[in-house]
């Protein structure tokens, strides 16, 4: 039906003009999207994040992406509250930052999100009372020690995933957002994952992907709820970044064009904060991968993810093999 209408239009002068206009509009739309993407990724300057407040609070800030955020935000003139589980590492990171940025004030707070997270976050809330926290980076996150079928995931492992990734992020956000509402400004960055936002499924890491799906939807709803209060909520979606976690789940060793170092990744991530996007993939090769993934059928992506997961199963003593 459509092709015969098209064939008919092609024979009419007006039809040729109409088809040309549609073709031009489609080309214009695609080129505009490409130009916007190029601008956002490579040219758009970072916002002055001090306009949100003098302090940034970062969870999981002693390693990987969180540590890179800490250095980058200090470089932009923000004082820091570093929240992580290991006091020796916290002290080391804070003294490294003070050495590099002597004008920056750094506070550390020891909080193990695997423990009593509710009591821990309530102590943290007391400790940061009165601080003008303008930027919150909800970065802390854990995953499986290795690929596993859902029914083989030990209760301790999945309860820990929910405690750290879901309950921890929710309580920390709940502790910080009221101050932002009172001041009428703030930026909340929640670190999601390609595991829930890009691929249609993440077999053998199902609970990790589900916790990141929660982060994604929480962020997108809070983005709408708090926009009018001057608070920019955003879910940033990395694919692989060369960190301890990536080496654990994907044997990613060195960084490469598709697997940036945490510093390189954060350099891009910083430039997305406060720009009007509830969800973004800040690193350029990650968004290229996302684009190509979106062209493939779900069934193909599902089969590909499952085959990767199966290759990663180290423990063969289970009922599935
Ligand atoms: N790396 C990737 O490829 C990738 C891809 C997609 C999404 N992500 C997400 O990015 C975020 C950061 O990941 P990453 O790769 O940077 O991880 P990482 O290198 O393993 O660093 C995680 C940070 O969180 C801290 N942490 C872990 N468990 C904790 C707990 N129970 N209580 C308090 N702090 C804890 C770690 O402390 P210690 O220094 O004491 O270990 C470390 O500072 C996570 O939310 C992750 O899901 C990462």
**Stronger pLDDT, 263 or 314, i.e. the higher one:** 263
| Ligand 1 pocket test, candidate residues 63, 92, 172, 193, most atoms within 8 A of CB | 63
Q: Is residue 247 part of a domain?
A: yes
Condensed to tens digits (0 to 9), the pLDDT of residues 235-257 reads 999 999 999 999 888 877 789 99
* Model confidence band, residue 316 (pLDDT cutoffs 50, 70, 90): very low
Assess contact for 109 and 125: CB atoms under 8 A: no
Q: Is residue 209 part of a domain?
A: yes
How many structural domains compose the chain? 1
* Model confidence band, residue 219 (pLDDT cutoffs 50, 70, 90): very high
CA of 44 to the centre of ligand 1 (A): 28
CA of 26 to the centre of ligand 1 (A): 42
Q: Is residue 262 part of a domain?
A: yes
Q: Is residue 301 part of a domain?
A: yes
Which range of residues forms the domain containing residue 80? 49-312
Q: Is residue 23 part of a domain?
A: no
The pLDDT value given to residue 250: 81
Mean of pLDDT over the chain? 92
pLDDT of residue 26 exceeding 50: yes
Q: Is residue 251 part of a domain?
A: yes
Lowest mean pLDDT among 39-43, 169-173, 236-240, 310-314: 310-314
Q: Is residue 21 part of a domain?
A: no
Q: What is the domain-level CATH number for residue 196?
A: 3.40.50.720
Q: Is residue 230 part of a domain?
A: yes
The pLDDT value given to residue 9: 62
The reply to whether ligand 1 has any atom less than 6 angstroms from the CB of 140 is: yes
CA of 98 to the centre of ligand 1 (A): 22
> What atom in ligand 1 is closest to the CA of residue 252?
3
């Amino acid at each position: 039906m459509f092709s015969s209408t098209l064939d008919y239009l092609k024979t009419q002068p007006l039809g040729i003009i109409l088809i040309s206009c549609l073709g031009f509009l489609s080309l214009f739309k695609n080129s505009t999207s490409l130009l916007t993407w190029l601008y956002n990724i490579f040219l758009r300057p970072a916002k002055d994040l001090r306009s949100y407040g003098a302090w940034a609070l970062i969870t999981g800030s002693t390693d990987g992406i969180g540590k890179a955020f800490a250095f980058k935000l200090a470089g932009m003139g923000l004082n820091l509250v570093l929240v992580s589980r290991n006091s020796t590492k916290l002290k080391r990171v804070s003294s490294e930052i003070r050495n590099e940025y002597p004008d920056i004030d750094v506070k550390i707070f020891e909080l193990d999100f695997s423990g009593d997270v509710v009591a821990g976050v309530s102590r943290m809330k007391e400790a940061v009372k009165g601080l003008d926290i303008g930027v919150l980076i909800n970065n802390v996150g854990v995953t499986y020690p290795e690929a596993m079928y859902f029914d083989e995931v030990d209760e301790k492992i999945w309860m820990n995933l929910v405690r750290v990734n879901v309950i921890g992020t929710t309580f920390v956000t709940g502790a910080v957002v009221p101050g932002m509402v009172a001041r009428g400004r703030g930026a909340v960055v929640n670190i999601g994952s390609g595991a829930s936002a890009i691929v249609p499924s993440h077999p053998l890491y199902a609970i990790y992907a589900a916790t990141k799906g929660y982060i994604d939807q929480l962020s997108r709803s809070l983005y709408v709820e708090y926009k009018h209060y001057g608070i920019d909520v955003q879910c940033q979606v990395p694919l692989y970044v060369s960190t301890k976690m990536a080496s654990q789940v994907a044997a990613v060793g060195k960084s490469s064009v598709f697997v940036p170092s945490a510093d390189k990744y954060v350099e891009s991530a910083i430039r997305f904060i406060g720009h009007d996007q509830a969800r973004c993939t800040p690193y350029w090769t990650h968004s290229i991968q996302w684009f190509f993934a979106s062209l493939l059928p779900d069934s193909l992506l599902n089969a590909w993810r499952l085959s990767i997961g199966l290759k990663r199963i180290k423990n063969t003593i289970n009922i599935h093999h």
